[in-house]
Structure 1
Amino acid sequence: MSQQFQPPAPDATPHSAAPAPGPSGADFLAPAPAPFPAQSGASFLAPAPAPAPARPANLGLGILAAFVAALAAAAAYGGIMNAIDREIGYAAVGVGALVGFAAGKIGGRNPVLPVVGAVLAVVSVFLGELFFYALAVAGAAGVGLGEVLSSLGVSGLIDIWNEQADIKSVLFLALGAFTGYGSAKKIGD
């Protein structure tokens, strides 16, 4: 006689009172449920977005940006020194950082730009110190800045710088160069 398969009879006990069924072979092959509810439109296991393509290095724009930043930073540096009537190292570091940042951010990864940033940072710190001396002479003489610049000229301001320069002045030039190089290299990468 042939046997027919009979489905099990429905259980009369509530499910909370029923013993938990043991694991079967199919339970091990089934995917595990997600630990968090599904997010709308996003998945926790989605691949990371592709990195942005590297922007091309633009040497000309990087040098131009560093030059403009050097002029602006020199004016600010000279003005700050005139306002407090002394040199400060943090401002020289800020000048170098600004010049290097402009070179690296606009110019990209060109290996020449950190060197340009260092050189222009030194020029900027030096011009800032000359501007400080011009402002100090104008204030002491009670004349305008234009009159001081026309009577002394750049060579007269350089002579004043040579008389007043000490190890601290040279250190501030070096700090500007170091920071200009480092920030251009870091931002450009």
Structure 2
Amino acid sequence: MSQPVPPPNQPHDAQPGGNPFAGQQPGAPTGGNPFAGQPMSFPPPPAGRSGNVGLAVLAAVVVALVLAGIYGAIMKATEHEIGYAAVAVGAVVGFAAGKIGGRNHVLPFICAVISLVAVYAGQISGYAMSLADYANVSFFTVLMDRFDVVNEVWKSNADVLTYVFMAIGAIAAFSSSKKAAL
């Protein structure tokens, strides 16, 4: 069986039916693509948003201190430890640091640690506020002079859920710092 041999390249005018693609460069792809033969270019992948990590850590610490005070006031007002507040503390600490610090591989870990400390400080301040009311002294007197008593009260009231919500708060700080950096 013999197969038909295509005719050799002919000038555009000599093509049967007036093929508009006959004059293209040899080896260029055809098939009706108007962009054939053009170099392919894609936009560069989005680079990680860089930020100031030192300022991000400072912002996370300031936010953590403010939220620890708010968390302590909520604990004193409700006379209960609220686990979801620990998650919120972690999420807000991570968000603030991620927005300022950008994509830094160490920042989520720092936020998780800051979140753990903030939740602990919030619970300590809640117990200190309650003990200050009970003893009819100032909050700072209880916190500075009798920190050992406040820490013992925290230890005696801490249960498994205390540590679980602290860990979840740290995880929330870790993930929200990564998401905020996008």
**Normalised by the size of structure 2, how large is the TM-score?**
0.71
**What 5-or-longer segments of structure 1 have no aligned partner?**
1-50
Q: Distance in 2 between matches of 1:65 and 1:136?
A: 28
Residue 81 (str. 1) matches residue 79 (str. 2): no
Aligned to 1:188: 181
Aligned to 2:120: 126
Residue 167 (str. 1) matches residue 160 (str. 2): yes
Shift of 1:146: 2.3
Query: Does the 8 A contact of 1:78 with 1:129 survive in 2?
Result: yes
Bigger mean CA offset, 108-117 vs 55-64:
55-64
Q: Distance in 2 between matches of 1:58 and 1:177?
A: 22
Q: Distance in 2 between matches of 1:81 and 1:151?
A: 21
Aligned to 1:24: none
Bigger mean CA offset, 64-73 vs 140-149:
140-149
Shift of 1:52: 9.0
Count of aligned residue pairs for this structure pair: 139
Quick one: which of 44, 58, 62 aligns to 1:68? 62
Q: Distance in 2 between matches of 1:62 and 1:183?
A: 13
Higher-Rg member (1/2): 1
**Normalised by the size of structure 1, how large is the TM-score?**
0.68
Aligned to 2:134: 140
Query: Does the 8 A contact of 2:97 with 2:177 survive in 1?
Result: yes
Aligned alpha-carbon RMSD (Å): 1.9
